[in-house]
Structures are given as C-alpha cells and as structure tokens.
Amino acid sequence: MVAYDLNARLASISTQWTNLFRAHRDQGEVAAAAQRELLLRYYGAVYRYLLGIVRDPAAAEELTQEFAVRYLRGDFKTADPERGRFRDFLRAALRHLAHEHWRKCAKLPVPLPTDSAALGEMPAVSDVLDRQYLDGWREELLAHAWDALAAVEQQSGLPYHAVLRSKAEQPQLPAAELAAWLSAERGRPFTEEGIRQVLHRARKKFAELLVAEVARSLQTAAPEALEQELSELDLLGYCKSALPGQAT
C-alpha cells in the first residue's frame, strides 16, 4: 500500500469518526465526551493495528467504523483510566473485534475459548503484531507532538519545528549549514550560535509537548505513570528532563 492510500484512508476514517462522535455527543457527560475525543485522537493506531491483523484495507476500515459505533453505543464500559491504560484497553477490544471478524469469515457459529483448536485455523495475533501496535502507538504520540510544535512555531514565529525537524531528518547536518538554509528559507539572518540556541530550546519544548501528549493518552500526569509509559514506549530518552519534578 502506498503512503497516499494510507493517508487517504486515515483521513476518511477521521471524518467518519468525527461525524459519529458529533452525532452522539452529550454535553452532560463530560467523562464520556473526553473518552470520545481521546479515541478520535488515536484513530490511526486503531486502523493500523486492525490492518496488520486482517491484512485487508477495506476490512480494516470497516472494522474501525464498527469499533467506533460499538464504542458510542456503550459496549466498552470498562474504558476507565482507573482500570488500566487506554492503549491496553484499546488493543484488547480490537483483538476481540478481529477475532469476531475471523469467526465470521470461517463461518464459526459461536465464540470459541482461547485454547480451542479451531482458533488455530485463524491468523494469530502474534507478538510481532503487538510490537507493531506499540510502535504505531509511539508514532501517533510523536506525530501529535510534532504537530503541537508546529503550532507553537506558527503562533510564536520561532522556527522550532523547522530547525528540529531538519536536524531529526539529517542528524549530521552542521549548525552552520542549518543556519545558512534557514536564513535563505526565512529571508533573515541566522547565525551558527543562534541555531544552536534555537535547537536547544526546540528540543526542550518538544520534550514538554511529548510528555503532555503521553499524559493525555494516560489521562493522568502522575510522574510514576508517565515515566513507566515513556520507558515502555522507548520515549524516555526524548523527554526525561521534562517529567514533573525533574530538574531542567
């Protein structure tokens, strides 16, 4: 699948989910509204995980829509941050949905116990797919942090996103060359030392935004929970200094 097709499908899913959530929004249910917004924020991870399981873009898109409908219907009442992480709840619910899909495809009449031999006839949700789900979740978090950094740049005029993104894509790029590129691109002079300062501040801001994004996904800003989640997602190296209580 080419990137364009994936982006087009994700855009379609985003529109579908947004419309569904607007249709079911109840302003009197603050917690439910927050959960809907959280789920909408990570629709990309939902689709990618289902696509990895069913290996059919059309089926994966249909299942993401089905998941959203069931979620709004109230089928997943256990989606409570006090009962566990949102991403763990999401993965379990999607695995269940995928198993239902395979049972229908195989014309199996009833849900089967996890040790049933018939389940061996269906594609397994392997450790590799679970690893891919974790990788996809991390990419979603990073993407939202990058978007937030771009918004900071747009609002402040400071080239945080441009400089940090360029450095991330070309780690060996010298500060002098980066300064020359940015000077030409923005039509005003940037010095080598000035670029180093911008880069330092951009990394700090990105770390803060990434921690905020992870806190949003966890629905808690507890330092212990944040550090554990960042560690499991291999993101701690990006932003440990931005955790609450850490020296800056």
Q: What is the pLDDT of residue 209?
A: 95
pLDDT digits (tens, 9 = 90+) for 77-135: 555 555 677 788 788 888 888 888 887 876 444 444 444 444 444 445 567 778 888 88
The three-point CA angle 202-203-206 to 5° equals: 85
Alpha helix ranges (H) inside 86-159 = 86-105, 127-156
Asked if residue 247 belongs to a domain, the reply is: no
Domain that holds residue 31: 3-125
Closest CA to 212 of 237, 164, 244: 244
Q: Which residues of the chain have pLDDT under 50?
A: 1-4, 10, 13, 16-17, 20, 23, 27, 107-123
Q: Are 16 and 43 in contact (CB under 8 A)?
A: no
Closest CA to 22 of 74, 65, 72, 93: 72
Q: What is the pLDDT of residue 47?
A: 85
Q: What is the pLDDT of residue 23?
A: 47
What residue type is 195 in one-letter code? I
| Total domain count, the chain | 2
Asked if residue 58 belongs to a domain, the reply is: yes
| Cα 65 to Cα 43: distance, rounded to the nearest angstrom | 10
| Cα 108 to Cα 124: distance, rounded to the nearest angstrom | 16
Contacts of 94 (CB under 8 A, 6+ apart): 46, 49, 50, 53, 63, 67
Residue carrying structure tokens 């898109």: 61
Last residue of a domain, one of 97, 125, 153: 125
Q: What is the pLDDT of residue 180?
A: 95
Q: What is the pLDDT of residue 219?
A: 78
Q: Are 195 and 234 in contact (CB under 8 A)?
A: no
Asked if residue 37 belongs to a domain, the reply is: yes
| Cα 234 to Cα 205: distance, rounded to the nearest angstrom | 19
Last residue of a domain, one of 125, 159, 178: 125
| Cα 201 to Cα 211: distance, rounded to the nearest angstrom | 15
Return the structure tokens found at 163: 């400089």
Q: Are 224 and 237 members of one domain?
A: yes
Q: Are 115 and 139 members of one domain?
A: no
Last residue of a domain, one of 64, 96, 125: 125
Asked if residue 157 belongs to a domain, the reply is: yes
Q: Are 33 and 85 members of one domain?
A: yes
Q: What is the pLDDT of residue 121?
A: 44
